[in-house]
């Protein structure tokens, strides 16, 4: 019985993936980096949120705030909404506030990814003064998030913390 249920779920998921391979892969990439960033934000101790590896780069808190802000920058155009970044990077410094804002920002963006299918993601939108597909903007968001997750990994390693993406190995 358990195997039959598992086989049915796998078959259903494979069918959906086959119907929408572009959005399925884009959502998978988004989910992976989203989870790594959230887990890192939760793992970093409160006292390390002010940490800057050098004086001329963002603090860990500012980095988390920047990632939260950019979820609105990237996903509002995909959702065809006029919603700008709320200024989290410049207004929040406490870990609890930043983690809550990050979760809210990712939840906002998750709805953009969830609403897409392969037919919808080819629609053109204006982004940074150019016409791009919704898929390109969503992939740009994941790429940007992953770029900053790389920064997060460095900050964590400098504080002798294992980043979430390395914990599973």
Q: Tokens 């887990």 correspond to what residue? A: 39
Helix (H) or strand (E) holding 88: helix 88-91
pLDDT given for residue 7 in this prediction: 52
pLDDT per residue of the chain (169 residues) written in tens, 0 to 9: 555 555 555 555 555 557 889 999 999 999 999 999 999 999 999 999 999 999 999 999 999 999 999 999 999 999 999 999 999 999 999 999 999 999 999 999 999 999 999 999 999 999 999 999 999 999 999 999 999 999 999 999 999 999 999 997 5
CA neighbor of 70 nearest in space, from 108, 44, 100, 43: 108
* Contact residues for 122 (Cβ-Cβ < 8 A; gap 6+): 133, 134, 135
CA neighbor of 165 nearest in space, from 25, 53, 43: 43
pLDDT given for residue 19 in this prediction: 87
Q: Are the C-beta atoms of 30 and 141 separated by less than 8 Å?
A: yes
Give the CATH superfamily of 2-167.
dinb family like domain (1.20.120.450)
């Amino acid at each position: 019985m358990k195997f039959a249920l598992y086989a049915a779920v796998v078959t259903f998921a494979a069918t959906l993936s086959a119907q929408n391979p572009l959005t399925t892969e884009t959502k998978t990439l988004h989910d992976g980096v989203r989870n790594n960033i959230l887990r890192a934000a939760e793992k970093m101790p409160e006292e390390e949120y002010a940490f800057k590896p050098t004086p001329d780069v963002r603090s860990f808190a500012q980095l988390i705030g920047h990632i939260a802000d950019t979820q609105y920058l990237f996903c509002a155009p995909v959702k065809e909404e006029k919603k700008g970044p709320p200024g989290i990077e410049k207004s929040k410094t406490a870990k609890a506030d930043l983690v809550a804002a990050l979760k809210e920002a990712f939840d906002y963006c998750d709805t953009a990814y969830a609403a897409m299918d392969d037919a919808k993601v080819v629609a053109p939108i204006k982004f940074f003064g150019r016409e791009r597909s919704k898929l390109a903007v969503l992939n740009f968001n994941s790429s940007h998030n992953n770029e900053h997750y790389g920064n997060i990994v460095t900050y964590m390693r400098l504080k002798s913390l294992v980043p979430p993406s390395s914990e599973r190995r």
